[in-house]
Amino acid sequence: MRTRARTFVTRARRLIPSGDVEAAERAVREAVTALDKAAQKGALHPNNASRRKSRIMRQLQQAKQAAAESPSGQAE
């Protein structure tokens, strides 16, 4: 469970700066689910899972804001 959660978090962190917002959002959702399951089963401490979820969601939000502010990030 812990390895699976770590894999999904790593995948999300790699996709966030890539600029593909939809893929990054999907990866973050998968990571959050994996972290929740690991915490529920006792593989991770609940505070640890919460901290990781908070960090990847904050990174995703910052990437979305950066994409919205940059002129090349908007579709014409």
Give the per-residue pLDDT at 76. Answer: 47
Distance set, CA 2 to CA 42, 61, 75 (Å): 9, 25, 39
The CATH architecture of the domain made up of 2-73 is: Up-down Bundle (1.20)
Please write the tens of the pLDDT for every residue from 31-70.
999 999 999 999 999 999 999 999 999 999 999 998 888 7
Q: What is the pLDDT of residue 72?
A: 61
Query: What residue ranges do the domains of the chain occupy?
Result: 2-73
The phi-psi region of residue 60 (left if phi > 0; otherwise alpha if psi is between -120 and 50; otherwise beta) is alpha
71 band by pLDDT with thresholds 50, 70 and 90 = low
Among 54, 57, 60, 65, smallest CA distance to 15 is for 60
pLDDT, average across residues 14-26: 92
Question: 0.75 cut: is pTM over it?
Answer: yes
